[in-house]
């Protein structure tokens, strides 16, 4: 992921320097476990524990020759070990995937915890915004066309619950990726006791793989990547709503626009929904990682490394991009400007067409057949309003008179109030208030 979208905390998780710190941590725990079991001399533990991690530059210089990153790391770390002889017992009985998969599990857990904290904050922001606007009337739209009266808080509540489910999904995926294995070549424990693996797992707070054939199978990592993609797409759904709301023809919502900000290099009047558009673009990056990561599940026999090059790009990119997106979506919602007057104006702009469904039901209850009488009458009046701009109640009265019908005007006044449409949302808002 390019630096533009990399926030410091998440960037450090995926840095080479941190990766080598984790590799040292894993290897040191294995050395300690071996020493406790009596399989290697106890006196080598302290020199290994004290040896500082190698710098990325030192590892990369050796890797340029060896063309093997783990061997390059081990050689560079050995150079930092005093006495160097103690390093002979590092990686004892292990294979490369033991180190790579175990350290990767730590990185994935660390990245997930950062994302979960931000998801928690975003759920709270969405919840509070929705509750604040639980009585803010606006028109509900289907297919982009005005439907019936609604409230803005209802729309945002949908996003709040979706983000909460996405967060909970990611929590479950955290368990799926917190899995390690130290089982040796082809995963048979031929040169390392399973007790070593169990010891390291306990110290790292990870689970041991139920089966390891040298590589931890990638179904858990695929689940994690999918959870990230779903969460990113919920952020995009929020952004899409704001993008539509900021259109000149709609003008119900506005992204935060800071002092000194410029909307266009050519048109000074422009206030563009750049945050929302950026979120839409970045969601594509996160979703794009699902298939490449999932294709790492099938490997040749006990192992190959076709998954490795993919994951070096896909896993950091997915988590770094989502980290940025959660930050940006929180900023979007906390600074969102809601134009309630414009929402009211738009609600009333179709001359009462938003009440056709209510009128239809009233006519049915008054004794008219739905399909043969009520629906054709209401539709004729509605089309008349669309074409002439005459308010719906007037066109309805006209067409009803032509059909020899008398309308209960008082009853229509009662049912054609926008507030009437939202009273049944109260239980939903009560649930929302309890959302954490």
Within 10 angstroms of residue 89's Cβ, the number of other Cβ atoms is: 20
Which of 264, 306, 309, 349 is catalytic? The answer is 264
What whole-number distance in Å separates Cα of residue 355 and Cα of residue 214?
Answer: 65
Catalytic site residue 264? yes
What whole-number distance in Å separates Cα of residue 139 and Cα of residue 347?
Answer: 5
Angle, CA 133 vertex, CA 128 and CA 139 arms, to 5° = 140
What whole-number distance in Å separates Cα of residue 129 and Cα of residue 151?
Answer: 12
Contact 69, 83 (CB under 8 A): no
Q: Token pair of 235, please?
A: 């952020």
DSSP-H helix ranges across 133-218:
152-177, 194-204
What whole-number distance in Å separates Cα of residue 436 and Cα of residue 364?
Answer: 43
Catalytic site residue 399? no
What whole-number distance in Å separates Cα of residue 76 and Cα of residue 184?
Answer: 22
What whole-number distance in Å separates Cα of residue 399 and Cα of residue 381?
Answer: 6
Dihedral sign from CA coordinates of 386, 392, 395, 401: positive
Active-site residue set: 143, 264
């Amino acid at each position: 992921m390019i630096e533009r979208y990399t926030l410091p905390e998440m960037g450090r998780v995926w840095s080479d320097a941190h990766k080598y710190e984790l590799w040292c941590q894993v290897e040191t725990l294995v050395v300690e476990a071996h020493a406790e079991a009596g399989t290697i001399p106890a006196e080598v533990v302290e020199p290994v524990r004290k040896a500082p991690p190698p710098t990325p530059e030192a590892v990369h210089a050796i890797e340029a020759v060896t063309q093997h990153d783990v061997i390059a790391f081990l050689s560079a770390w050995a150079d930092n070990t005093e006495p160097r002889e103690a390093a002979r017992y590092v990686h004892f009985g292990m294979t490369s995937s033991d180190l790579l998969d175990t350290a990767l599990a730590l990185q994935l857990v660390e990245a997930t915890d950062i994302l979960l904290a931000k998801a928690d904050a975003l759920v709270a922001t969405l919840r509070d915004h929705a509750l604040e606007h639980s009585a803010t009337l606006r028109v509900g739209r289907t297919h982009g066309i005005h439907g019936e009266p609604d409230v803005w808080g209802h729309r945002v509540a949908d996003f709040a619950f979706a983000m909460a489910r996405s967060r909970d999904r990611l929590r479950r995926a955290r368990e799926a990726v917190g899995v390690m294995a130290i089982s040796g070549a082809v995963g048979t424990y031929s040169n390392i006791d399973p007790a070593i693996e169990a010891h390291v797992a306990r110290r790292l707070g990870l689970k041991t793989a139920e089966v390891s054939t040298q590589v931890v199978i990638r179904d858990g990592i695929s689940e994690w990547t999918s959870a990230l993609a779903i969460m990113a797409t919920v952020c995009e759904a929020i952004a899409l709503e704001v993008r539509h709301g900021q259109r000149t023809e709609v003008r119900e919502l506005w992204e935060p626009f800071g002092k000194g900000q410029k909307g266009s290099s050519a048109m000074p009047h422009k206030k563009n929904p750049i945050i929302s558009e950026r979120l839409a673009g970045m969601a594509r990056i996160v979703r794009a990682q699902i298939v490449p990561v999932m294709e790492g599940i099938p490997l040749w026999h006990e192992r190959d490394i076709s998954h490795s090059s993919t994951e070096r790009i896909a896993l950091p990119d997915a988590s770094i991009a989502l980290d940025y997106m959660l930050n940006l979506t929180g900023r979007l919602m906390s600074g969102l400007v809601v134009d309630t007057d414009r929402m009211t104006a738009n609600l009333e702009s179709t001359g009462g067409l938003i009440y056709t469904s209510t009128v239809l039901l009233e006519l049915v209850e008054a004794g008219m057949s739905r399909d043969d009488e009520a629906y054709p009458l209401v539709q004729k009046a509605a089309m008349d309003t669309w074409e002439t701009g005459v308010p719906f109640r007037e066109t309805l009265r006209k067409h009803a008179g032509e059909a020899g019908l008398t309308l209960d005007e008082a009853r229509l006044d009662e049912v054609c109030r926008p507030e009437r449409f939202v009273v049944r949302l109260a239980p939903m808002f009560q649930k929302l208030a309890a959302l954490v």
